[in-house]
Amino acid sequence: MVDRALNRSILRLSIPSILANLTVPLVGMVDTALAGHLIDPAGGGSAVFIGGISVGAMLLNLLYWNFFFLRTGTGGLTAQAYGREDPHECARIFVRGVGLALMLSVAILVLQRPLAKLGVLLVSATPKVCELALRYFFIRIWAVPATVSLMVFRGWFVGMQDSISSMWTDLIVNFVNIGASIVLTFGCFGWEGMGFDGIAAGTIVAQYSGLLAASLICFFKYRKVFSTIRRSDVHELLRPSSLKPFLIMNMDLLGRSLCFTGIYMGYTIIASSFGDVVLACSSIMMQMLMIFSYFTDGFAYAGEALAGRYIGARDSGMLNRTIRYVFVWSMSIAVLFIGVYAVVGLPLVKLFTSDQSVVEACKVFLPWLLLMPPVGCAAFTWDGIYLGATASRGLFVSMGLAVLGFFSVWFAFASFFDVEFCEPELRLHVLLGAYFVHLVARTLYLSFVSRRYIHI
C-alpha cells in the first residue's frame, strides 16, 4: 500500500534541497568565468587567475569540510527533539551549535596564516598561482564566522523539517555571491572595481547576507521556539562540561569529515601525476559524478529529518516505512542517471570542455558513470538516515573502511606494477576503481549494521 502522506513529506523536504543544490555549480562557474576575463599586467594571460581561484577555493574547502559536523550533528539532534515535541531542547541545540561555531571561527581566524601556508605545501603550482591563491584565501577567510554558523542554521532547519527555509538561505547566498562578485570585480557606475580581489569579496558579502537572512527567518518564524531560552540556558550550554557530550558525538563526525578530505585529496594528488589530458579527464569525471549527488542529497536530507523525527517520537513503524520509501526515491534517481549518462554522457563532457583531445580521452572512462549511481545513491542515503539517528560512530567506521578500501586498491596496483611506466589511462581506470570501492565499502557496511544503529 502506497503511503501518499509519507511520499509528500519526503518530496516536501527533498525538492527544496535539490533546487538549492542545483545553484551551487553556478557560483563556481561564474567565479571561474570572472577570473577568465581578467588581464594579467605581466602578460601571463587569465590562466594564473583561474589557477589562483581554483587553488584558493580548494584550500578553503579542505578547511570547511572539517567543520561540516556542525551541520550534520545539529540536524539529527534537532530532528529527534522535534519528534519528541520538545521546542526548548530544539532551541538549546541551536544555541549550543552557534556558540561552538563562533568559538571555532575565532580559532580559525587566529590560525589563518599557518593554515594557509600548510595548505599551499600540499599543492604543486607556480609561484604566481600560489601568490594569488593566498591572496584569495586571506580575503575570503573573513567570511568564516558566517560560513561556519550557516552550517548550524542549515542543520537546524533540516531538523525542524523545514527545508524551505534552508533553500531560501542557500539561494540568497548563491545568487548574492554571483551578483556581488560581478559588481565588485568589474565595478559599476564609473567605479572600476577590485579586480581579482572582488571575486573573494563577493563571497564575503554573500555569506553574511545568508547569515542575515537565516537569522531573520529564525526571528520571525521560530520566535516562539526561541522564547523558551533563558539567559541561564546560554551560560549553561556554553560551559565546557555542557559542550562535552555534544563534542564527543561530533568527534566521530569530525573523523568522518577528515576521512572524506583524505579520499578527495588523495584522488586529486594522485590524478595530478597523470599528465594534463588525463588529469582533465579525472576532473571532469568527478564533476559529472557530482551531478547525481545534487539530487540524491535532497532525499538524504529528507531521510535525516524524518528518521530523526520518528526516532524522537518513538514510532518504529513510521521509521521503517521512511527508510524504505526514501530508498525507493533515491534508487529511482540512480536508475534515472544511469540512463542520463548512457544517452548524453558524451554531450555532457563537451559542456565541460571544448578541447577535442580531452573529449576523445574521456570516452573510455564513461562506463564508470554507469556503475557509480547505484552504490553512490545508496551510500548517500544511508548517510542521511544515520545522521537522523545520530549514529555517528557507524558513519565514522564506514568512512574509515572507505578510506582503507580506496587506498588499498591504489597501493595494491602501485605495488604490483611500475606506475611510472603504466599508461595514464590505465592509472585513471584504477583510480576510478578505487573511488568505486570506497562507495561500495560505505554502502555494504552501513547496510549490514543498520539494525544495530537505526532503531527506537
User: 41 lies in a domain?
Assistant: yes
What does the pLDDT read at residue 208? 96
What does the pLDDT read at residue 456? 73
Whether residue 226 sits in one domain with residue 311: no
Whether residue 314 sits in one domain with residue 225: no
Whether residue 293 sits in one domain with residue 180: no
Indicate the angle between helix axes 127-140 and 196-221, nearest 10 degrees: 30
Alpha carbon distance 279, 274 (integer Å): 6
Whether residue 185 sits in one domain with residue 291: no
What does the pLDDT read at residue 19? 84
Q: What is the pLDDT of residues 74-85, one digit of tens each?
A: 988 999 999 999
Band (172; pLDDT cuts 50, 70, 90): very high
Q: Do the beta carbons of residue 48 and residue 128 sit within 8 Å? A: yes
Cα-only R_g, the chain = 22
The Cα-based distances of 27 to 15, 20, 149, 361 in angstroms read: 20, 12, 20, 27
Domain's final residue, options 238, 264, 292: 238
Q: Cα torsion at 136, 142, 146, 148 (round to 10°)? A: 80
Residue with cell 581554483: 54
pLDDT at 278 over 70: yes
Residue with cell 563532457: 349
User: 244 lies in a domain?
Assistant: no
Q: What is the pLDDT of residues 423-434, one digit of tens each?
A: 777 888 889 999
Whether residue 452 sits in one domain with residue 321: yes
Write out the E strands in 283-358.
Answer: none
Domain's final residue, options 182, 212, 238: 238
Band (397; pLDDT cuts 50, 70, 90): very high
**Coil/strand/helix, residue 398:** helix
Whether residue 233 sits in one domain with residue 293: no
Q: Do the beta carbons of residue 386 and residue 454 sit within 8 Å? A: yes
User: 350 lies in a domain?
Assistant: yes
pLDDT at 112 over 60: yes
* Residue from 364, 335, 366 nearest 348 by CA: 366
Band (41; pLDDT cuts 50, 70, 90): low
Domain's final residue, options 238, 273, 300: 238
Q: Which carries the bigger pLDDT value, residue 401 or residue 280? A: 401
Domain that holds residue 81: 1-238
Kindly state the percentage of the chain with pLDDT values over 90.
40
Alpha carbon distance 30, 181 (integer Å): 8
Whether residue 344 sits in one domain with residue 298: yes
Q: Which carries the bigger pLDDT value, residue 442 or residue 189? A: 442
User: 119 lies in a domain?
Assistant: yes
Band (44; pLDDT cuts 50, 70, 90): low
Predicted structure pTM score: 0.85
Report the pLDDT averaged over residues 10-20.
88
What does the pLDDT read at residue 249? 72
Q: Do the beta carbons of residue 326 and residue 303 sit within 8 Å? A: yes
What does the pLDDT read at residue 401? 95
* Residue from 364, 368, 373 nearest 332 by CA: 373
Q: Do the beta carbons of residue 93 and residue 249 sit within 8 Å? A: no
Report the pLDDT averaged over residues 367-395.
92
Whether residue 294 sits in one domain with residue 229: no
Whether residue 187 sits in one domain with residue 299: no
* Residue from 104, 57, 59 nearest 200 by CA: 57
What does the pLDDT read at residue 383? 93
Whether residue 295 sits in one domain with residue 215: no
What is the residue type of 305? A
Alpha carbon distance 206, 189 (integer Å): 21
Whether residue 411 sits in one domain with residue 351: yes
Q: What is the pLDDT of residues 187-224, one digit of tens each?
A: 887 777 788 788 889 999 999 999 999 999 999 999 99
C-alpha cell at 173: 547566498
User: 120 lies in a domain?
Assistant: yes
User: 117 lies in a domain?
Assistant: yes
Whether residue 234 sits in one domain with residue 205: yes
User: 246 lies in a domain?
Assistant: no
Q: How many domains does the chain have?
A: 2
User: 245 lies in a domain?
Assistant: no
C-alpha cell at 23: 545553484
What does the pLDDT read at residue 149? 94
What is the CB neighbour count within 10 angstroms for residue 327?
17
What does the pLDDT read at residue 46? 58
Q: Do the beta carbons of residue 60 and residue 245 sit within 8 Å? A: no
